Amino acid sequence: MRLVNKWWAVSLLTAFLTVAPALAQQSGLVNVNLTNVKTDIAKNINVNVSQIPVTIQAPVAVAANVCGVAVDVLTSQATQGDAKCDAKTTNDALNQIVQKQLNEQKAH
């Protein structure tokens, strides 16, 4: 029984150490400039383009996807507190972040 418990402990530790770097790459926020995609986002979430902010904070994975920048580059910038990029495209995740921010502004 003790051998089985030790085996599980080692297996869980190994799994954690394998996954931890990937999770670390996903942490942090990036300031994403929306200037180039404001019209697309407005159309996708059915609001006037004037309501779309110039920048928004997005998780590293979302920012990397819409800006066409490698996750590790943005992660490095995020750890230094200066992560930013210009969106070249939009996606559902970015649209949802913008929609959430607009909803929060309406609530205040």
Task: With beta carbons less than 8 A apart as the criterion, state whether 30 and 83 touch.
Answer: yes
- Angle between helix axes 71-79 and 60-67 (nearest 10 degrees) is 130
Give the pLDDT band (50/70/90) at residue 92: very high
Per residue in 32-82, pLDDT tens?
A: 999 999 999 999 999 999 999 999 999 999 999 999 999 999 999 998 888
pLDDT beyond 80 at 101: yes
Task: With beta carbons less than 8 A apart as the criterion, state whether 75 and 59 touch.
Answer: no
Burial environment of residue 73 by CB neighbours within 10 A (0 to 12, 13 to 18, 19 or more) = middle
Give the pLDDT band (50/70/90) at residue 2: low
Give the Cα separation of 68 and 96 in Å (integer): 19
| pTM of the shown model | 0.73
Q: Strand locations in the chain, DSSP E?
A: 29-33, 55-59, 84-86
